[in-house]
Structure 1
């Protein structure tokens, strides 16, 4: 980094030190000569005007008040101008750039009034008081002095305008920095929400895959254990179902984990859709659950792939709950009905219903099911039936383009 860039960054990072060094340099340049000239009044006045510049940014109102008071005293008591009086322009600039709006306008008015008093005190009054000036000479010099007053007022106005522009730029930079900070915070929040949503989606997928497969495996394992002694053929069939279910679950798990790989090289297969419901029902029947199926109506339009996956998971989770909670010798029915508004799913069983849920779980399956369906503006209604059993009803509307 070049030297002037480093100096600029240091000045931006330490404005107080910059102002202090500037005040010290001005004091040595404008006030110290009065010390060698044995003019203590001008030395004190110069110090009073220069010292407040050290805090012109941190305390602009106090700095401006001290400078204004010192300049007023010098105009009243002084006999000739002092070089430090020109620094009143720096005070006008600082008030416009860093002080509140009322102080900025007050600094402009004080600067204009001070310029008028400066011309009046050091140019107009001494010349009009000189007895040797003739009337013609005074008439010639008054317009010149008037032009001088206008010029000083213009310089004050320019100093205030530059300060006001500096204020506008500073506020604009602060607004941009604040906006950048807010955008960064919002971006971090969006990342957190996206990560949470992805974790929730993965948790739903893993629950649907693992819970269903384990329920079938447990049911078949229990049946094979009891049938091994009496009917070995049934035990062999049950073990075959266990193996098939385990392999299917392993394939689904590999597909899910493959999505998480960053290189995109993991092999994947199509996600389940409504066309895969017969395969799901066949697998459940082979596991020993009696399941009936009824399909009504025809689709008015195609559902998105995600909506069809959601419908598949609703049926899968509902049948898994039958395995887990309905008890032995329970039967289930699945109704898929296409209406003018969308797809209706109805899964019911004649088992023990909600009273069987003694596992102490937190209802992750039903909760995940409701979350899935809500993503497509659908609804889920689940609860026990009056005569026994449990029923899950889901509705997924058509998604209009």
Structure 2
């Protein structure tokens, strides 16, 4: 089976095979045509050893059979067998890898029998020991076999070690790539969550501030002729709210430009300032807290503040301004339940029916991100937002 190999590596293998052939050629020329044929076979096996380790192993076996079939002596070109076995273990497919190990074992047996028995028996070489000295002959064959299999298996084992190191590095590289991809995915998720939070904050700030500005502007317009002092007071409130909204928007834009920010976020202690703004806009708000406060994390406090702010903004825009809005914070060991109830103007369409893009979905998402939940209750004449925000143990306020 062929493997993917760059043109540069293939060229390198061919050049090295050519150099090996040139080095081995002088000794091969001392032999005959079959030595040159075997040399060409071994050089070809080296040339394609990484392009196709299976074909390389087959060509090497063919060259070895030509050499043994013509009863040629060992030559320098036989060293090519070591490179071929190394390549089968380092670059071959699993079946080629194990065929290389089998070839090392079978080749050791064949080489031992060829050099120790076949050539002497055919008169191509003399016996080192007397044929009837079975003990000495057996010992010689054993030493020859051990030497042959040690060299062949050692070259195959070296290729296997290189393969293991390469595979280990590849696994490490893949793990590093996977880790980077996971970190990138986590970063993108955090960025998306931060953008969603900023979008919610932008909506809450702009919607609340514009609602107050509109209510004050309407009041100032009607009071301008009969009660100028009231109109002046309303204009002052509009200016203050607009400045505050401008500062909040600038803060949110700064958050978009910087990964981290030390700008303060609203917490529960800022609720009174929020209610004062709404009361100044003409909305009567009654805040009631039941039970002792429990520990809430900063993120949970922001969620409570923003939910109350959005609910009161909706009440200012769509509710009955002549009737009070009730804000109840019921505390227990599990956390806090914020309930905001307002009366709806006669004939007004319920807030939930208008399909708000950010209002109610934003409140619900804020509650869910803290592990809590938000429910909406409506009936003829009133609208209620109920947010359950759990306590966060071990957090700081």
TM-score, normalised to structure 1's length? 0.86
Range that drifts further, 163-172 or 44-53: 44-53
Structure 1 residue 181, shift from structure 2 partner: 1.4
Partner of 2:207: 211
Q: Which moved more, 1:352-361 or 1:114-123?
A: 352-361
Report the Cα distance in structure 2 between the residues aligned to 1:83 and 1:217, rounded to whole angstroms. 98
Aligned mates of 2:99, 2:348 — CA distance in 1: 78
In 2 relative to 1, CA 391–50 (structure 1 residues): closer, same or farther, beyond 3 Å? same
Whole-Å separation in 2 of the counterparts to 1:293 and 1:126: 110
For residue 29 of structure 1, the aligned residue among 18, 23, 30 is: 23
Secondary structure of the structure 1 residue equivalent to 2:381: coil
Give 1:387's match in structure 2, choosing from 363, 380, 387. 380
1:276 corresponds in structure 2 to: 270
Matched, 1:50 2:46: no
Instruction: Give the direction of change, closer, same or farther, for the CA distance of 1:137–1:284 in structure 2 (3 Å limit).
Output: same
Q: Distance in 2 between matches of 1:388 and 1:13?
A: 81
Give the conservation status (yes or no) of the 8 Å contact 1:49–1:87. Answer: yes
Return the alpha-carbon distance in structure 2 between the equivalents of residues 312 and 132 of structure 1: 104
Contact 2:37 / 2:63 at 8 angstroms: preserved in 1?
no
CA contact (8 A) 2:131 2:137 kept: no
Query: Which is bigger in relative contact order (C-alpha 8 A, separation at least 6)?
Result: 2
* Residues 142-194 of structure 1, C-alpha deviations (whole Å, 9 max, x = no match): 52243122111111121121111111111101111111211221222122112
Q: Is the 8 A contact 1:79 1:122 kept in 2?
A: no
- Counterpart position of 1:119: 112
**Greater Cα offset, 172-181 or 385-394:** 385-394
Indicate how the Cα distance of structure 1 residues 392 and 263 shifts in structure 2: closer, same or farther if over 3 A, else same.
closer
Deviation readout 1:321-365 (Å, 9 max, x if unpaired): 112333664542211111232101111111159825599764312
TM-score (norm 2): 0.87
> How far apart, CA to CA, are the structure 1 residues paired with 2:310 and 2:167?
58
C-alpha contact 1:212 1:316 (8 A) present in aligned 2:
yes
Distance 2:126 2:350 in 1: 121
Partner of 2:372: 378
1:219-258, aligned counterparts within 5 Å? 219-258=215-254
Q: Give the alignment partner of residue 325 of structure 1, picking from 318, 338, 343.
A: 318
Query: Which one of 53, 58, 82 corresponds to residue 65 of structure 1?
Result: 58
Question: How much does 1:381 deviate?
Answer: 0.8
3-state DSSP class of the match of 2:379? coil
1:312: which partner in 2? 305
Return 283-292 or 36-45, whichever deviates more. Answer: 36-45
Matched residue, 1:77 = 70
Q: Distance in 1 between matches of 2:87 and 2:138?
A: 33
1:382–1:393: 8 Å Cα contact kept in structure 2? yes
Partners of 1:256 and 1:192 lie apart in 2 by: 19
SS at match of 1:343: strand
Aligned to 2:84: 91
Q: What CA distance in whole angstroms lies between the structure 2 residues aligned with 1:177 and 1:123? A: 50
Aligned positions of 1:92-107 closer than 5 A: 92-107=85-100
Q: What is the SS of the residue equivalent to 2:73?
A: coil
Superposed CA RMSD in Å reads 3.0
Structure 1: any 5+ residue segments left out of the alignment? 1-10
Give aligned pairs, total: 386
Indicate the SS of the match to 2:265: coil
1:367 paired to 2:365: no
Secondary structure of the 2:349 match is: helix
Match of 2:196 among 193, 197, 200: 200
